[in-house]
C-alpha cells in the first residue's frame, strides 16, 4: 500500500494550506499522489452552477460520470457507508506512491495534528498522533513543529518522505 499521512485539526487550523504545500512538494518529487478529504459539514458541491452535470444533479440522479480527454469525474449519491480504508482500496490506483488525508480523525493512519492558537494536544483523543505543528508558533505554548511558512512545511514534508521511503 502507498505511504499514507493524515492531517487533522479543527476548522481553520490550516489543513488545506498544509496539504497544498505537501502536494506541491510531492509533485516536484514526481510522486503519484491521491488525496482524500472528509467533509464534516455536509456541504460538498463539486458541480459548477449552470453546467450540465449540475443540472443532472438537480434531478436527483444517483450517479453522474463525466469524461473529458484528461480525466474522469464520478459522483455517486449514497450513504457514507465506506470507511477510509475501504475508500482507499476502492478509489486509489495500485501504482499510487503517496496518500494524503484531510480529516477522518478516527482512521488508523499516522497523523499530523495542526493546532490553532487556542488548541491543546490533549484536545485530541485519537490514535497515531505522530506529529504536531502549527501555523502560529508564537501563539502556541507546546513545543511543536513551526509550519508558519510554505518553505518550512515543504522542508519538513520532504524530510519526512525521505525517511519513510528509506524504510
- Alpha carbon distance 85, 8 (integer Å): 16
What was the pLDDT predicted at 22? Answer: 97
Residue 107 lies in a domain: yes
Residues in the chain with pLDDT < 70? Answer: 40-47, 79, 167
- Which residue range is the domain that position 29 belongs to? 3-41+82-166
Residue 71 lies in a domain: no
Q: Grid cell 504545500 — which residue?
A: 21
Residue 75 lies in a domain: no
Q: Number of helices (H) and strands (E), helices first, in the chain? A: 4, 8
- Alpha carbon distance 93, 97 (integer Å): 9
State the Cα angle at 40 between 140 and 26, rounded to 5°: 65
Strands (E), the chain: 3-8, 33-37, 63-67, 72-76, 98-102, 111-115, 129-134, 145-146
pTM of the full structure? 0.86
Task: Give the domain CATH number at 133.
Answer: 3.40.50.300
Residue 69 lies in a domain: no
Strands (E), 10-69: 33-37, 63-67
- The C-alpha R_g of the chain, in whole angstroms, comes to 18
What was the pLDDT predicted at 62? Answer: 81
What was the pLDDT predicted at 58? Answer: 81
Count: domains in the chain = 1
- Alpha carbon distance 90, 84 (integer Å): 10
What was the pLDDT predicted at 110? Answer: 93
Q: Please say whether the beta carbons of 63 and 76 come within 8 A.
A: yes
Amino acid at each position: 500500500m502507498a505511504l499514507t499521512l493524515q492531517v487533522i485539526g479543527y476548522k481553520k487550523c490550516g489543513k488545506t494550506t498544509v496539504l497544498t504545500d505537501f502536494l506541491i512538494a510531492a509533485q516536484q518529487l514526481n510522486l503519484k499522489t491521491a488525496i482524500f478529504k472528509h467533509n464534516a459539514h455536509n456541504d460538498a458541491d463539486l458541480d459548477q452552477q449552470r453546467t450540465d452535470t449540475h443540472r443532472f444533479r438537480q434531478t436527483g440522479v444517483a450517479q453522474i460520470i463525466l469524461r473529458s480527454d484528461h480525466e474522469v469525474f464520478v459522483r455517486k449519491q449514497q450513504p457514507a457507508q465506506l470507511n477510509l480504508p475501504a475508500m482507499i482500496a476502492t478509489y486509489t490506483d495500485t501504482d499510487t506512491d503517496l496518500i494524503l488525508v484531510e480529516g477522518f480523525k478516527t482512521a488508523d493512519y499516522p497523523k499530523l495534528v495542526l493546532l490553532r492558537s487556542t488548541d491543546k494536544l490533549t484536545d485530541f483523543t485519537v490514535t497515531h498522533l505522530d506529529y504536531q505543528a502549527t501555523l502560529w508558533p508564537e501563539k502556541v505554548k507546546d513545543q511543536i513543529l513551526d509550519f508558519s511558512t510554505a518553505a518550512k512545511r515543504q522542508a519538513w514534508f520532504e524530510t519526512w518522505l525521505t525517511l519513510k521511503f528509506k524504510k
